[in-house]
Amino acid sequence: MVSSVMMIRIRLMLLVVFTWCVLQSLCGCRADHDTVLSGGKQADQAFLTGYDAARHRALDSIPLAIVAVEGDLIVVRRGVIGERYPVIDPVYTALKDVSHVVLGVWLSVWDAGPESAMRHSAAWSGPIDSIERGLSRSCIPPDQQPRQERLLSESRELILLASGGHGVSPEQLADWSRAIKPDLMMNVQEAARSQLLSVNESVKTIAGTMSTSERESFVVVVCGVHQARKGNIEMQYFTRLLGPEGVEHQRRLLFAESVYDLKGALKLLGAHQLDRSISESFFGIPDRMQQDLLEDAASRILPELGMPSDLGVHPGP
């Protein structure tokens, strides 16, 4: 016969097993099933390999692309890299150099203690002297040189203010910044003019090499930083060149955000072209894959979620 102690132990074991099974059921999984789909990882890898190969084919299918990257316009015909046209000329670079001095001095005193502001701003005296000595021999047009002299002189004034050892107050810095703003923004305008002239001349030259079909279908990739994605100077140029029909749904113009080299730009272009084909095939429209594929489902599910209410924020409807 089974002793009462043994019976208690058996009942406890049965209770533990029963509880464990209930918990497994509530979790939606069973002990004899893996939590990861068998073969899923291999399938994912095979998909990525296939996508990468198709991306290369998509790039090869583009008759002509113009990639604006690293200060150049680069022509790519069916995936083959061709001519390179520089679009950053010496005037642009020189005006940028002067503007960088101004902003560099500003940075040296902004939100800095008196000793730090005095030390770091003083370090700019040498570069200012060097640029000022070379100004008359530079490529900056003579009629624009007085503006550079004023900006350099005002930069010295800020250094002098910081040299007093009392720091530069936010109010003093704001007054200084607004006083030089007209000259600084004129430098910006002339730098933009210089770059746009270079871009336009390069595009005219590239257009002279295009066949009729290339003229009707060429695409453009503009690389740039996140902060400049809105209003990027080359995006504005090609938007005007291609017109509303060309830029709608990124049909012939796309912005490669935070892409800084040709390799990254071509990778993005191939993926963009491939995703347009996927969109056409599955959805009958060219730009569905330019949105998160989960977007529509998320918009339906989010109102059903019980979001946390103790975070000090007010969730939207």
pLDDT band at 315 (very low <50, low <70, confident <90, very high): low
Is there a domain that residue 14 lies in?
A: no
What SS3 class is residue 68?
strand
For residue 16, pLDDT beyond 50: no
In the chain, what percentage of residues exceed pLDDT 70?
86
Report the 3 state secondary structure along the chain: CCCHHHHHHHHHHHHHHHHHHHHHHHCCCCCCCCCCCCCHHHHHHHHHHHHHHHHHHHHHCCCCEEEEECCEEEEEECCEEEEEEECCCHHHHHHHHHHHHHHHHHHHHCCCCHHHHHHHHHCCHHHHHHHHHHHHHCCCCHHHHHHHHHHHHHHHHHHHHHHCCCCCCHHHHHHHHHHHHHHHHHHHHHHHHHHHHHHHHHHHHHHCCCCHHHHHHCEEEEEECHHHCCCCHHHHHHHHHHHHHHHHHHCCEEEEECCCCHHHHHHHHHHHHHHHHHHHHHHCCCCHHHCCCCHHHHHHHHHHCCCCCCCCCCCCC
Tell me the CB-side half-sphere exposure of residue 247, using CA atoms within 13 A: 14
pLDDT band at 96 (very low <50, low <70, confident <90, very high): very high
Q: Are residues 174 and 113 in the same domain?
A: yes
Spatial separation of the C-alpha atoms in residues 292 and 218, rounded to whole Å: 26
Q: What is the pLDDT of residues 204-248, one digit of tens each?
A: 999 999 999 999 999 999 999 877 667 899 999 999 999 998 888
Q: Are residues 79 and 166 in the same domain?
A: no
Strands 253-257 and 219-224: parallel
For residue 22, pLDDT beyond 70: no
Q: Contact, 87 vs 202, CB < 8 A?
A: yes
For residue 298, pLDDT beyond 80: yes
> Whose structure tokens read 């060219």?
286
For residue 142, pLDDT beyond 60: yes
Is there a domain that residue 299 lies in?
A: no
Cα 217–Cα 221–Cα 222 angle in degrees, nearest 5: 140
pLDDT number for residue 264: 95
Least confident of 30-39, 88-97, 185-194: 30-39
Q: Which residues pair with 85 in a beta bridge?
A: 73
Domain that holds residue 117: 90-195
Is there a domain that residue 247 lies in?
A: yes
202 by Cβ neighbours in 10 Å (0-12 / 13-18 / 19+) ranks as: buried
Q: Are residues 64 and 131 in the same domain?
A: no
The two tokens of residue 262 are 């040709």
pLDDT number for residue 11: 47
Report the 3 state secondary structure along 140-190: CCHHHHHHHHHHHHHHHHHHHHHHCCCCCCHHHHHHHHHHHHHHHHHHHHH
Is there a domain that residue 79 lies in?
A: yes
pLDDT number for residue 32: 55
Work out the end-to-end distance of the chain between its first and last CA atoms, rounded to an integer number of angstroms: 67
Of 182, 263, 169, 255, give the one whose Cα is nearest residue 220.
255
Q: Are residues 232 and 275 in the same domain?
A: yes
Q: Are residues 112 and 177 in the same domain?
A: yes
Q: What is the pTM (predicted TM-score) of this model?
A: 0.78
Is there a domain that residue 35 lies in?
A: no
What SS3 class is residue 31?
coil
Q: Are residues 123 and 156 in the same domain?
A: yes
Q: Are residues 125 and 268 in the same domain?
A: no
Q: Are residues 122 and 183 in the same domain?
A: yes
Mean pLDDT of all residues in the chain? 87
pLDDT number for residue 308: 81
Count up the domains in the chain and report the number. 2
Q: Are residues 102 and 190 in the same domain?
A: yes
DSSP state of 65: E
Length in residues, the chain: 317
The two tokens of residue 24 are 């497994």
Q: What is the pLDDT of residues 32-49, one digit of tens each?
A: 556 778 888 999 999 899
Q: Are residues 76 and 224 in the same domain?
A: yes
Is there a domain that residue 42 lies in?
A: no
Is there a domain that residue 160 lies in?
A: yes
For residue 29, pLDDT beyond 70: no
pLDDT number for residue 21: 46
Least confident of 89-103, 148-162, 291-305: 291-305
Q: Are residues 131 and 188 in the same domain?
A: yes
Is there a domain that residue 310 lies in?
A: no
For residue 168, pLDDT beyond 90: yes
Question: Which sign, positive or negative, has the C-alpha torsion 170, 173, 175, 178?
Answer: negative
Q: Are residues 233 and 138 in the same domain?
A: no
